[in-house]
Structure 1
């Protein structure tokens, strides 16, 4: 009993602190993160309020630990934001983040302030009927994300994506190739480099509008558009909404404003050019360039489309032979990397992503961590060394490794020593380390204190000192020892990611190796530099002769940290009741539907939808009166993660159906062959509650980078002993394999079932036949899908976009209970289609099947999905 109450208490164990503007919800060990988030939100709130013309109150802010995954999201529909606790590290370029809780908190708060802004009739409708009438939710992603990128870049000239240099430099690569993005590309974000184009194009475009027309116009646009009751049709017909508002505010439609932005950018003097010789031409993402025995090794990440709106990201370790200038895949990794790859002797060291438990709802109480591995370059033998939340590491020798972790409950880092015999903490400090590097003589870190970007420090573990080498307000990282005392690094001085060096004995002078271009990783071998440089398709490998020149830092503006002591607000303690209050319905929308073909009998009802701020509990309900049958109408769906990671669901339909489900993840991994094992238990009462079914379910998924498999098995059964109208036991199972082949996908799937005591006869569905009913049978399907054509064309009015054309060849085979055989073969063509600013994805497919009777059947299928969340 004591254990039971302890578990219940832990599930209720959310803590709350609040002001009149925010209610911050967190688990007990995350009070530091909660206070930092609250301080930043209160300190900078008025700027966001003025920019958006809105002043939200009592906004729930949830702090979640997802391991070393850095992110956050805003939900304007249910009115809350979530901040993940882990401060991000430099990934493919040096992003200036002086304080994670400032950047993430204000980014997400801007989403809420913007998308909940209403005026006029929509303001009245929102108060009565809820979130669906918030007009500013119905805008393109490049506005929704662009305004947050713009905001995050206003509080310091050294923080935010408009200030770190990548966005500006990438636009210059597009201009240099005469490939400047138009409004169609920005809106629909086809799969191409880079990821997150709505952030890039939206942030740069809104920055242009603010500079030319004044940011007060941005505020007015949100007010004007937020007053349109018809804004919900704007995603399909922009002429009636977004363009009307832009003409009112800017005097021009957004397509014309995009053209104006294009003229402005292309008329600027562009001097983007990568120095030296280009060695590869594959683009996408490259990091961690190292050199070994006349070969380069580096990480390349690239997505490959397999079928309609489905792609897989592959992480390769590449090998480039400098003798014959040929690139090949050295190995394909099971999961992505979490930090920079290192070389020591004949071994590569790298960290793959893996799963651990964490305090969150978002990831079902799982989080991301790192597994450090060692791979021998000669044998390719790979061994796991250890698992931890590794932020960065360096190799002292093949047995001893130094690695960094983020300090718990405070800003800062810990440096740990790993050996096969032990792990121990060597150092703890108040700055956040993004990278650590050594050559045996020196140990250098790239690290920053609160509200600072990273600087360069020498570590001395004997004295426990960290000695500053180079301090600037910009970001330094990607460390490499060019010589024993000469440290090379990349910095974003003047918004350009260039290669620099500094003598650790005489750090007064800085040398620069590149004048133009954007570089994210490099090695220096003798007098040659090999580096990963940015072009319009992504990153590729280049080489150049090293000709360092003295570089003098320009004068910079002081980097002022916020003075939280000047804040005048009262923090109060709350409790779980503050969470329960957030479950009130966010949507309360009338719904009237005809119940017969004469339109004389109607369903008079209303839809209610809500969720608590933590997302532990959510629901939808339809309550009304059925005029046709003269009965009340009630339908409800409820999902709960209160006992997370147990997922509970309830669905109820008045006088007909009660369905209760429980799902639990028995196993979850990103790096192992078996990825996920889920178990399920369902209870269902249906057919006017005459039948009562219990179903046991298990599913297993796994595989390797090129091959994935899945296995599903379920056993539904009914017994008169628990008041079902029949006795029944059924068996359902499926086994499948997805194989990447020639940049396409081969799918093989076998399904079998036996449900002979069921009066509701199951269906056998194969192409080329009408529905086949049988109480048992087998279905075998194999198909191969491949992208045939990049279309990448669309319209602004109406808002529709065609991305890629896919073709599928298939063979279907089935056997029913009577041993009758059915088979067919044929092909399908499908076009990826996006409508409503790309938020609704439709994959219509048309096909021809020839069955065993040589009859030709044409068929059409449509798959659809939508996206309504913001990061």
Structure 2
């Protein structure tokens, strides 16, 4: 071979395909699902199979569709809650960690919540027939017609569907979404069809999940749930539905009209009118006006403390996020962040011993996932004084709940590896010693201490959260308030427990007397969260408004309340422990449900009941080889030539090969076959590879290898990524090796990125046509300047003396050409500020305008001394609009005007910012 080094590199990159047996992914599959999991997740994989099979008939009826062999992968990323569906790649991902602290926590079981939700996505968006189905079969899954629909439709049906699986599960049964919609209705701020399809800062808590779920619930109540399948079949069977993203009136409006007998706009208005007619009492005495998210309001020493998160809009498509603990002085109504961090508070915060104990996420390796290179999130517990100073990390782990004890130690509840049960530990901050107390089959997610008594929030298998007293000596949990409804304790004082609950679909705040068993509900206001009383006897609480959540001071009224006493339903199946290789069980060993269907109790029985075949990593390879994403024919011609070929695009399931693309065509004029191939390869993670090879114009090859060397979730140094890039181009005459390192840092209100690369070409060692050795670096800086403005700066520095003068720098704004130099510095500075809030759009043709922002910029390019190039600089203004189109998110479009060094004026149209 002429180029043995290049051939060796190529072989190194494709070796993973031949090493399938070395990986540790396994599968459980039947004709409906193929569950991918890693060793140790066998029980969770079977639970996913059981859950999806149990709810499959309902989801199929709801959507009017089936989808054989849906691929589902399980991921363990620590305390990160998520799941997603990828209809184009026939892939669902389920993250194992069950939520216990937000609207997603209102569920009997996390798999019951997330798996059907994502499966509804899959069936709804892959529903097609007629000409659209034929086009999709010819050209690939990117032609699924219902990929091109408003987001309130995509997410609305899933939120609705997840809420029909149980009266005590799903976001429409949790009270939170209902309160948001009711508050917006009272303020006459429910959105138009267009606005609901995009995320708007106008209503930070309300988005297409909320609007779509409520709208679909209205349609089901008014016209019947069975209409959804009719709607999807109608919309997905018409070729004109491909215009939905641009002109929804041409097809989508008609599909709604044919299904419901009314135009979509009328149905939307009917829904809003029905919400406005509902009784809902909002508080009037507002103490804060910042909106966004607030939680865990506490009173201590005449001060109020709470968790707050908000986003300050600072420019086109840009916001600065703030997340932390706020201290509010009730006498002056002044508040400020005393602790800020870049993550949530996964185990909340507590106040004791004149200290604040709080939690944050942190990253560590050792988790069974492909999404994040084996990195996962754990919880750190820290302490600080009441002003946020003297911060100290105390301990970390899979801590879901904690509380300080009177002796100064911490009581911890850590998740067991299955995320279904807890282990109780005591941590001594003075010695750093952790002592195990006992384990429980319940999942504890809140701890509250009052003197010698300890209370916890906990949930059992296929049950919502309930309230228990923790008896450490007896190693048991004693039920205090335990019904099928969601019940979460928020505070305890003496004999009074304060708790939140969702009864009959409505959220509320309650008090329970431990001595008498009497219960009272805070009334007079529809939405009351974590009410507290100051020593002066003044009431404070959190409630919903159109801007989000705020603190209110209305006087609260306690009314006697009887907790609904309902019996628990039996789980549809039990979690099954893994017992090794499957053997067919005797039929007599299977229990049966009331309808006569079998209920497997062992691993082998489940294998037989669901007709499961156990597989290996080869299932992932077979999925990879199918170009399901796109198989697009190529037919290009001129007067004297014709090119015939195809573009093929595929993906795997687990993420080892996230995407590959093969483009091949035959040029009849030159009698030549041209091929381009690109592959993303993460098989050797944490090493990732991007491979691009082509035989066009003499051939080219790009190999990019990189790995994350360091990750951190909080402020400070966030990441270090190191890599090496090899490029062979110009018919392999140019061969460039570039090792590089990329760092990112962050702080409250700002971020810094650093990129450094060495550029090396060598005639002798690399067979390049030149010798070159240089360095290029980039600094990207972003800082919040005022509450609603930010400064963006990008600095490029290069010392690349052997490079061509046109391959180092990029042109400044206002210049057509780059700085003609290979040594020097360029600086781009822009100060952005939102100018005007539009936040409305047009339904058909589909377009949405969020905000219009302005920018002042100054750019400079300075060559290194003793070079002949002249310096460049420019300055001017930008006017940028955030525009949403085709239901595909936001983009920035604008105009720029300014002057260059010579005083010449320029006006440019812009797509994006900073270019």
Please report the TM-score for the alignment, with normalisation by the length of structure 2: 0.90
CA deviation after TM superposition for structure 1 residue 70, in Å: 0.9
Is 1:797 matched with 2:841? no
Match of 2:789 in 1: 744
2:463 pairs, out of 452, 459, 467, with: 452
Q: Aligned pair in 2 of structure 1 residues 262, 659: CA closer, same or farther (>3 Å)?
A: same
**DSSP 3-state at the match of 1:450:** coil
Partner of 1:501: 511
Partner of 1:610: 650
Deviation at 1:845, TM superposition (A): 2.3
Report the CA distance shift for 1:593/1:806 in structure 2 as closer, same or farther (over 3 A): farther
Tell me the equivalent position of 1:867: none
Q: Report the Cα offset of residue 183 of structure 1.
A: 1.0
Cα distance between partner residues in 2 of 1:620 and 1:440: 64
Deviates more, 1:170-179 or 1:403-412: 403-412
What residue is the counterpart of 2:815 in the other structure? 769
SS at match of 2:553: strand
Structure 1 residues 192 and 69 mapped into 2: Cα distance closer, same or farther (>3 Å)? farther
- From 716, 725, 729, the equivalent of 2:773 is 729
Distance 2:320 2:445 in 1: 28
Equivalent residue for 1:296, pick from 294, 304, 309: 304
Structure 1 residues 480-629: aligned runs within 5 Å: 480-481=491-492, 483-507=493-517, 509-526=518-535, 527-545=537-555, 547-554=557-564, 556=566, 559-563=569-573, 566-567=598-599, 568-583=609-624, 584-592=626-634, 594=636, 601-617=641-657, 618-627=659-668, 629=670
Shift of 1:557: 7.0
Equivalent position of 1:187 in the other structure: 197
Counterpart CA distance in 1 for 2:661 and 2:702 is 15
Tell me, in whole angstroms, the C-alpha distance in 1 between the residues paired with 2:532 and 2:684. Answer: 50
Is 1:67–1:356's contact at 8 Å kept on the other side of the alignment? Answer: no
Say which of 161, 170, 173 aligns to 1:151: 161
Question: Shift of residue 174 of structure 1?
Answer: 1.0
- 1:504: how far off? 2.1
Corresponding residue for residue 434 of structure 1: 445
CA distance in 2, matches of 1:486, 1:404: 23
* Structure 1 residue corresponding to 2:222, chosen from 212, 219, 232: 212
Match of 2:138 in 1: 128
Partner of 2:582: none
| SS, match of residue 46 in structure 1 | helix
Cα gap change, 1:379/1:535 in structure 2, threshold over 3 Å: closer, same or farther?
Answer: closer
| Cα distance change on mapping 1:179 and 1:192 into 2, 3 Å | closer
Shift of 1:453: 0.8
Contact 1:478/1:520 (CA < 8 Å) preserved in 2?
no
2:79 is the alignment partner of 1:68: yes
Indicate the SS of the match to 1:453: coil
Deviates more, 1:242-251 or 1:631-640: 242-251
Q: Residues 267 and 196 (structure 1 numbering): CA distance in 2 closer, same or farther, change over 3 Å?
A: closer
- TM-superposed CA distance for 1:213, in Å, is 1.6
Does 2:391 correspond to 1:382? yes
> Over aligned residues, Cα RMSD in angstroms?
2.3
- Aligned pairs (5 A) from 1:19-30: 19-30=30-41
* Residues 131 and 586, structure 1, Cα contact 8 Å, conserved in 2: yes
Runs of at least 5 residues in structure 2 that lack an aligned partner in the other structure? 1-14, 575-590, 592-597, 600-608
Q: CA deviation at 1:75?
A: 0.5
459-468 or 190-199, which deviates more: 190-199
Q: Which residue of 1 is the match for residue 906 of structure 2?
A: 857
Asked whether the 8 Å contact 2:341–2:715 carries over to 1, the reply is: no
Residue matched to 1:844: 893
TM-score (norm 1): 0.94
Measure, in 1, the Cα distance between the counterparts of 2:106 and 2:719: 36
Q: Distance in 2 between matches of 1:588 and 1:84?
A: 27
Paired residue secondary structure (1:145)? helix
Question: Residue 28 of structure 1: SS of its match in structure 2?
Answer: coil
Residue 98 of structure 2 is aligned to residue 87 of structure 1? yes
| Matching of residue 818 in structure 1 with residue 873 in structure 2 | no
* Distance in 2 of aligned mates of 1:167 and 1:410: 26
1:441 and 1:67 mapped to 2: Cα distance?
Answer: 32
Aligned length: 853
Would the alpha carbon gap of residues 343 and 599 (structure 1) be closer, same or farther in structure 2, given more than 3 Å must change?
A: farther
> Which sections of structure 1, spanning at least 5 residues, go unmatched?
865-871
- Cα deviations by residue, 1:638-686 (Å, 9 ceiling, x for unpaired): 0011112211110112232100111111111012411111111011110
Identify if the C-alpha distance between structure 1 residues 510 and 11 changes in structure 2 by more than 3 Å, giving closer, same or farther: farther
Deviation of 1:754 (Å) = 3.0
In the TM superposition, what are the counterparts of 1:299-310 in structure 2 within 5 Å? 299-310=307-318
Q: CA deviation at 1:479?
A: 1.9
SS at match of 2:666: strand
1:94/1:492 contact within 8 Å kept: no
Greater alpha carbon shift after TM alignment, 750-759 vs 47-56: 750-759
Aligned to 2:111: 101
Which one of the candidate residues 476, 496, 499 is aligned to 2:487? Answer: 476
Deviations 1:482-541 (A, max 9, x none): x3121111112233332211122333x212223432233232345443211111211111
Aligned match of 2:579: none
Distance 2:744 2:276 in 1: 49
Question: Of 876, 881, 893, which residue of structure 2 is paired with 1:831?
Answer: 881
SS class of match (2:420): coil
Task: Select 2:26's aligned residue among 1, 15, 33.
Answer: 15
Return closer, same or farther for 1:594/1:416 CA change in 2, 3 Å cut-off: same
Q: 2:289 aligned with 1:281, yes or no?
A: yes
Alpha carbons 1:94, 1:476 under 8 Å: kept: no
Q: Any idea what the Cα deviations from partners look like across 1:772-825, whole Å, max 9, x if unmatched? A: 332322112222111111111210001001111111111111123425222111
1:713 aligns with 2:756: yes
Counterpart-to-counterpart distance in 1, 2:324 and 2:770 = 55
Residue of structure 2 aligned with 1:694, choices 737, 745, 749: 737
Of 376, 381, 400 in structure 2, the residue corresponding to residue 391 of structure 1 is 400
How far off its partner does 1:90 sit? 1.3
